[in-house]
Amino acid sequence: MEEGNHAACQARRRATDPPRFCTRCGRKLVVQVLPTSWRAHCVKCGPIG
Amino acid sequence: MTDDILDVAREQVLERGVGLSQEQLLAVLRLPDEGVPDALELAHQVRMRWCGPEVEVEGIVSVKTGGCPEDCHFCSQSGRFDTPVRAARLDIPSLVQAARETAATGATEFCLVAAVRGPDPRLMAQVREGVAAIKEAVEINVACSLGILTRDQAEELRDLGVHRYNHNLETARSHFPAVVTTHTWEERFETLELVREMGMEVCCGGIIGMGESLEQRAEFAAQLADLEPDEVPLNFLDPRPGTPFGELESPSAMDALRAIAAFRLALPRTVLRFAGGRELALGDLGTRQGVLGGINALIVGNYLTTLGRSPEEDLDLLTELKMPVKELSNTL
């Protein structure tokens, strides 16, 4: 990761993006965004959130 | 120059309802920052005169996410780019529930979107079942965005009761090869002609800020005006990690507002819809300025793979601005 303050990038992504990676195993999550919610699951670790 | 083009637009667009030409649109896009408020005010007057105060509200949902074979450079759903998006399909009960929740916000449009070049038999079967289930359960107009269509597919969607079909031209014809290489602008245009021939409403827009010049932005607005779409969704680039456009900057708020005013002055009678990227390019203040600057439709809630403002925030804004939400009977 490059040096620098990434707080702004992370804040921006938190506002516009659901989780993308499983925090337990690092796999890409299967994410379904819906008009008023979202859901995500890891194929190994199960549902997220 | 500011006074000249806006004076021309006041007579031509506001009074006579004739959209600006490509050259005139370029003059709007070149307005200095201090000219933008007047342009937005005029665009708002044009909207009120030729469209009225109602705002059309829509929800969208991805019925098939990721794994797209195309290489649209802005899109995180392309299977050709290393993005975090994984393939997913939406089951019918969840689709109906999403339609129900969208209708509960007051929205009159619900669009089923798929990340495909065009529908294969599996997707057509999913859409066939999904549209029927929604129509059985929810009072809402159903739209689709499923890529390039064959004649048979367009006919079937119309017969299913699909009210409007979206297929964005995305950008100016001259800039398109820099955005997509796996299909052509002309192929997209052919689908739009089919949609019109079949009697569905035509929804066609694009994305501002994909490296196009101002001349190309004006070209795009003029090309859309020639098409005479029923709806134009206006997106602002959200640079997605892993895509070829992931390192571009999203357009500045001023550029986004100039584009909104220009597109309204190009298309006085169309439904001009705030679509993706407005949260990033414009924020809350810019959203308000856009709704007071030519926009008369919104996507509420979330988008296909990213999150949007809450529907309540947008609906509160419309209430504050005394802009009624278009009701279902008024869309027929």
Alpha carbon distance B262, B296 (integer Å): 14
Domain that includes residue A41, residue range: 7-48
- For residue B163, the distance in angstroms to the closest alpha carbon of chain A comes to 19
Q: What is the pLDDT of residue B15?
A: 98
Return the pLDDT at A10. Answer: 67
Within-domain flag for A1: no
Element (H, E) at B224: helix B214-227
* Residue of A12, A23, A33, A37 to mutate for B, most B C-beta atoms under 10 A: A33
Q: Which residue from A minimizes the CA distance to B276?
A: A16
**For residue B71, what are its two tokens?**
């290489």
Looking at residue B81, the DSSP 8-state letter turns out to be S
CB pairs under 8 A between A and B: 71
pLDDT for B31 equals: 97
Domains of chain B: which residue ranges?
22-317
A42 to chain B, minimum CA–CA distance in Å?
10
| pLDDT 10s digits, B213-264 | 999 999 999 999 999 999 999 999 999 999 999 999 999 999 999 999 999 9
Residue of chain A with shortest Cα separation from B303: A35
Q: Note whether B303 contacts A33, CB cutoff 8 Å.
A: yes
Residue B323 confidence (pLDDT): 97
> What pLDDT is recorded for position A1?
46
Q: How many domains does chain A have?
A: 1
Mean per-residue pLDDT of chain B: 96
Minimum-distance CB partner of A32 among B88, B238, B310: B88
Q: Does residue A33 surpass a pLDDT of 70?
A: yes
pLDDT at A3 > cutoff 80: no
Smallest Cβ distance to A33: which of B62, B87, B300?
B62
Residue with the larger pLDDT of the pair B314 and A12: B314
How many angstroms separate the CA atoms of B203 and B223, rounded?
14
Contacts of B302 in chain A (CB under 8 A): 33-38
A30 closest CB neighbour out of B86, B279, B307: B86
Contacts of B94 in chain A (CB under 8 A): 32, 34
Residues in chain B: 332
The first and second tokens of residue B119, run together, are: 């529908």
pLDDT > 90: percent of chain B = 98
* CATH architecture, range B22-317: Alpha-Beta Barrel (3.20)
Average pLDDT over chain A, rounded to an integer: 85
User: With 90 as the cut, is the pLDDT of residue A14 above it?
Assistant: no
pTM score of the predicted model: 0.95
Instruction: Write the ipTM.
Output: 0.93
Nearest CA to B77 out of B309, B307, B306 is that of B306
Query: Do A12 and B280 make contact, defined as CB atoms within 8 angstroms?
Result: yes
Please report the pLDDT score of residue A7 as a whole number.
Answer: 72
Q: Is residue A2 part of a domain?
A: no
Q: Give the tens place of pLDDT for each residue, B255-302.
A: 999 999 999 999 999 999 999 999 999 999 999 999 999 999 999 999
